[in-house]
Structure 1
Amino acid sequence: MTSKFREDFDVEKSAPRDRFTKLLFDLRMPEELAEWPPLHVNKRKCNNARNRTLCCLLIIVLLFLIGNVIFLNVRILSINTVTPFSTSLSANAQQCLSQYTLNAPSSPSSYPCSTCLPTLQTVPSSYLSSNPQNAQQILNAIQFCGLRAIFDTANSQGQASLGWVNDVKFCAWNGVTCDGSGRVANLQLTFPGVPATLPNELGALTGLESLQVIGGDSIPAGALPSSFTNLTILSNLHIEATAITQLPDNLFSSLTSITTLTLIRNPTMGSSLPSSLTQLPLQNLVINSQSLTNPLPTLSSSPALQTSLKLLDLSSTSLTGPIPNTISSISSLTQLLLSNNNLQPPFPTTFQSSLQILNLQNNTALTGTIPNSLCNSTLLTSCELGSTGLSGGCGLCQLS
């Protein structure tokens, strides 16, 4: 191709662009600027520079898109690998949730707790944290089933009279109190509204802080359910007039929050206390009207109890043997109630200065002299020593 022909070709090729450029200038620029003569530039150099720029931009865009695709694939793989089911329920759990939400309010007794309770208890915490509304309904269904199991194994007439299972609003049921998040916090079961045995589903009430069971002497019976150790924030346990058998020795290794333990008239519970009891930060220990092998030496030697125990009431428990001198090691003790037992000498030579109430009545075999720590106490407000063999009455501690 000759030089002349190439120049003519270039001029002809660029003519439409020159006309388009002039049109843009005529539209956008002031009239006087539109009259300016066009600049003479090398079109080939401009085209080459523009093409290189476009190529660079295209490469950058492609790299950006490829990077995004790789990042998204890695993120999806990570989510599927680390937290499966974090945003969805299993089919069974979804069905249980739907049935509780839609059907249980009108027919609470027909809700399939036997299958839905274990299903809902295994819903991952990642789902619960990302779905708060459903999480609350799942929590409600779990607690409803835990309480309904008590109803199902109880005297139905006595329990029905308390208004249980007429609806799913369990926080309004008689003897049930919930905390601010809607969890069952306090549960009081009183005869005749008590179950024949404490069901394993009771362990589903993991928010329980206080449990009081006052039975009908022969019921509830049997052992505590294995799930009882799930009640890890339980602080007050009261069991009275039941046929519950001996407490497991390691029970309080799990129930480490217990501060008040009350056991009254439970004749089948045995005469020894769980060894794990001495690990508790107990403030109040009340055991009445059931036989005990004297636990005073063990209790008063426990480092945990020496700093926490305030009330020790072992009245009417057939205690034999002496009150150990280590009783004075319980530095926070304010009430010591050991009446109606078979305590024997020697009598302690000192009592803790924090003591406010002492009752040793009806321990006829107990002999010895009342120590000065009791006679001179400024905090003691009651001292009952009648019907004992003690001598040397003084101050509040009179023997008549």
Structure 2
Amino acid sequence: MTFIGLALGTLLLLSMASLASSCNEQEKASLLQFLTGLSQDNGLTALWKNDIDCCKWEGVSCSGDGAVVEVSLASRGLQGCISPSLGDLSNLQSLNLSCNSFTGSLPSELLTSSSIVVLDVSFNQLSRVLQPQESNSSVTNNRPLQVLNISNNLFTGEFPSAVWEKTSSLVVLNASNNQFRGLIPSSFCISSLSFAVLDLTHNKFNGSIPTGLGKCSALRLLKAGYNSLSGPLPDELFNASSLEYLSFPNNGLQGVIDGARIINLKNLCHLDLGNNMLIGKIPDSIGQLKRLQELRLSRNNMSGELPSALSNCTDLVTVNLKMNKFSGELNNFNFSNLINLKILDLLGNNFTGTISESIYSCSNLTALRLSSNNLHGQLSPRIGELKSLAFLSLSFNNFTNITNALRILKNSSTLTTLIIGNNFKGEAMPEDETIAGFQNLQFLSISNCSLSGKIPLWLSKLKKLQVLLLSTNHLTGSIPAWIKNLESLTTLDISDNRLTGGIPAALMDMKMLKSNMTATHVDTSLFELPVYIAPSLQYRTLPAIPKGLFLGNNKLTGTIPKEIGHLKSLAKLNLSFNCLSGEIPQQLCSLKNLQVLDLSSNHLTGEIPLALNKLSFLAKFNISNNDLEGVIPTGGQFDTFPNSSFEGNPKLRAIMVNPLYGSVEASAVPSLSMEQADRRITFVFGFCAFFGVGFLYDQLVLSKFYG
């Protein structure tokens, strides 16, 4: 976008207009003809007809002699078709119709114009295949077009070469976010020696990267991520020695990064080959790319140790190597020279040893993720030297001494996200009130650690905490009433522990679950790194995480409080595998935002509230293995829930419609016989053992909830 912005800024100087007293009548007619193609003009027609001089019309600029040189109508809410009449404006240099709702085709008259230098129709709904009509005019071979932005439309089919092959001045071409398919053409540089920017991101191109791109001597930015490209990076590509930005993420590229050839790209600042099928090592020669600022090689099959020469790339700001097979002692790499480094993501590799002390020399580091490796040891007090650190994820390693870690981190005033679960196995949850600190912490995960003890009081001081995850530990005692004092809390997961007592009424008074508001002091900006819930599900902001209350798999008793109906913004509620009794409260029916409701494996009695079928967002529902009775509601989302959502309640009946007579019959939900139950239990234990091994392996790749 930087290159496109610079090009647009430079080229728009051509259309700087002087004051004009009147406009050309023929050009005025062409502009009025443009209006006739609009089905929604958002008041533009009235504005234009208020003045007879089109040089004074909204979005129109003229030269000193009254010739229209610029039409800029971006973000005007216009709908309809783009009229070919704009191609009759013989002095038009810049046309910007971006961010509207135009449909149909892009008129060929605009692509073959003898005057247009900048053409921007991005962010519309244009869909017809681009194919300029050729003519015998002498200007056809000398089109002045320098910037063409057709991104974020609905164009389909193969990308026609006629768009650029007759354009000797083309500098910028952005066709990203469309549905072009087929091979990427190789002739971009045939006519234009000044061609510098090509963005084909988010299309459906397939095949290999064309070798002809290597002949683009002026090419500075090349982006073709999120397509279906395959094969290796062609040797010829590295002949494009002016490249500063090379980006092919989310394709199917194979092979290795050629260390002998990559050094030709001396100007490279950004290299993104993430989410492909590359193998091999990071070549030592990468250290010769002195201008490199971003290195993104995540989600490949690359291996080996971090090359020591990488420390020579002192301009590096981002290093993202997550989800590969990199290995070796992490503390063998010297990070000290990377003084500009802000983001280091090594999630899901095979690094061993302790955290390199040299990392703490990266004083500008804002995000550090070392999760899912084989690191060990204790956290060093030197991490306090990272005065800008906002995101820290160390989960799924073998770190020890959680008390020491929390005491060190509590004074990190910039820390907003802390993920340290699946470490500290079998230790005790520290209850030392001196741990209180974390003044800006908003996301805290200490799950999967088998920690003993109680939910500690020092958590009550974390006034900005929005997400608290303490699941899969061995915590005992009751749920403390002070949790309601965490006024920003929207997600609480204390499932899979050994908590006892009832569900406290105070939990039904959580401020941010009672309201659809966002706390005024909660940071709504992007996470420095995405937070994963599952391999295919990630969150980039805190407010995007569904509000949830997860109390399942504990030893809670008593009834479900009727006050639960106060939690109007609750999206997910899980109370399963406890010892709760009584009826399902009718007040649950008022939780209009509820997406998941799991009350299974308790001792609930009575009937299912019929009004639950009014919860239109409810996607997952489970009340199995209780002692419920009566008729299962029908209609709404209840028509989509499987039988497994209700089984284990022998007194429940389903309403069946006889297709012959249209009569209504009630039949019991199938319940398991003793023999079937024994077989089911045996299967479940066997399956859980098998699944547990696979699950633990999977967690070495991504956290159970957030990583």
TM-score relative to the length of structure 2:
0.31
Q: CA 1:249/1:159 → structure 2, altered by over 3 Å: closer, same or farther?
A: farther
2:400 matches 1:195: yes
Q: Which amino acid aligns with 1:164?
A: S
Kindly report which structure 2 residues correspond to 1:43-192, keeping only aligned pairs within 5 A, or say none: 161=353, 163-169=355-361, 171=365, 174-175=369-370, 183-192=388-397
2:620 matches 1:382: yes
2:507 matches 1:299: yes
Residue in 1 that maps onto 2:464: 257
Residue in 2 that maps onto 1:5: none
* 1:33-66 deviation line (CA, Å, top 9, x unaligned): xxxxxxxxxxxxxxxxxxxxxxxxxxxxxxxxxx
Contact preservation (8 Å) 1:332, 1:354: yes
Q: Which amino acid aligns with 1:345?
A: G
2:335 matches 1:335: no
* 1:88-121 deviation line (CA, Å, top 9, x unaligned): xxxxxxxxxxxxxxxxxxxxxxxxxxxxxxxxxx
Among residues 284, 294, 313, which one is paired with 2:491 in the alignment? 284
Q: How many Å apart are 1:305 and its aligned residue?
A: 4.0
Q: Which amino acid aligns with 2:402?
A: T
2:551 matches 1:314: yes
Inter-partner Cα distance in structure 2 for 1:231 and 1:340: 33
Q: Which has the higher strand share?
A: 2
**Structure ranking higher on relative contact order (CA contacts 8 Å, 6+ apart):** 1
Partner SS for 1:291: coil
Q: CA 1:373/1:296 → structure 2, altered by over 3 Å: closer, same or farther?
A: farther
- Most deviating of 183-192 and 280-289: 183-192
Contact preservation (8 Å) 1:222, 1:245: yes
Q: Which amino acid aligns with 2:353?
A: S
Q: Which amino acid aligns with 1:203?
A: K
Partner SS for 1:230: coil
2:609 matches 1:371: yes
Residue in 2 that maps onto 1:62: none
Q: CA 1:249/1:286 → structure 2, altered by over 3 Å: closer, same or farther?
A: same
Inter-partner Cα distance in structure 2 for 1:186 and 1:256: 18
Q: CA 1:193/1:330 → structure 2, altered by over 3 Å: closer, same or farther?
A: same
Q: Which amino acid aligns with 1:265?
A: T
Q: CA 1:202/1:159 → structure 2, altered by over 3 Å: closer, same or farther?
A: farther
Partner SS for 2:477: coil
Inter-partner Cα distance in structure 1 for 2:513 and 2:498: 22
Residue in 1 that maps onto 2:479: 273
Q: How many Å apart are 1:327 and its aligned residue?
A: 0.9
Inter-partner Cα distance in structure 2 for 1:227 and 1:185: 22
Paired residues, number: 239
Unaligned runs of 5+ in 1: 1-139, 141-157
Residue in 1 that maps onto 2:272: none
Q: Which amino acid aligns with 1:185?
A: A
2:469 matches 1:245: no
* 1:251-290 deviation line (CA, Å, top 9, x unaligned): 32x21011111111221x3322343310122111111111
Contact preservation (8 Å) 1:159, 1:194: no
Q: How many Å apart are 1:226 and its aligned residue?
A: 4.3
Inter-partner Cα distance in structure 2 for 1:168 and 1:355: 44
Q: CA 1:169/1:394 → structure 2, altered by over 3 Å: closer, same or farther?
A: farther
Instruction: Give the percent of matched residue pairs that are identical in Structure 1 and Structure 2.
Output: 24
Contact preservation (8 Å) 1:203, 1:227: no
- Most deviating of 192-201 and 369-378: 192-201
* 1:329-361 deviation line (CA, Å, top 9, x unaligned): 111111111111111013212312222211112
Inter-partner Cα distance in structure 2 for 1:335 and 1:298: 18
Residue in 2 that maps onto 1:58: none
Partner SS for 2:390: strand
Residue in 1 that maps onto 2:595: 356
Q: CA 1:242/1:213 → structure 2, altered by over 3 Å: closer, same or farther?
A: farther
Among residues 548, 569, 581, which one is paired with 1:344 in the alignment? 581
Question: RMSD in angstroms over aligned alpha carbons?
Answer: 3.1
Q: CA 1:188/1:311 → structure 2, altered by over 3 Å: closer, same or farther?
A: same
Contact preservation (8 Å) 2:369, 2:392: no
Unaligned runs of 5+ in 2: 1-338, 340-349, 372-382, 517-545, 648-707
Q: How many Å apart are 1:368 and its aligned residue?
A: 1.3
Partner SS for 2:615: coil
Inter-partner Cα distance in structure 1 for 2:592 and 2:425: 42
Partner SS for 1:204: coil
* 1:221-246 deviation line (CA, Å, top 9, x unaligned): 35155453221110111112142532
- Most deviating of 381-390 and 324-333: 381-390
* 1:68-90 deviation line (CA, Å, top 9, x unaligned): xxxxxxxxxxxxxxxxxxxxxxx
Inter-partner Cα distance in structure 2 for 1:216 and 1:175: 12
Q: Which amino acid aligns with 2:554?
A: T
Inter-partner Cα distance in structure 2 for 1:330 and 1:222: 29
Inter-partner Cα distance in structure 1 for 2:611 and 2:392: 42
Q: CA 1:242/1:187 → structure 2, altered by over 3 Å: closer, same or farther?
A: farther
Q: Which has the higher helix share?
A: 1
Contact preservation (8 Å) 1:201, 1:227: no
Contact preservation (8 Å) 1:260, 1:282: yes
Q: How many Å apart are 1:175 and its aligned residue?
A: 2.8
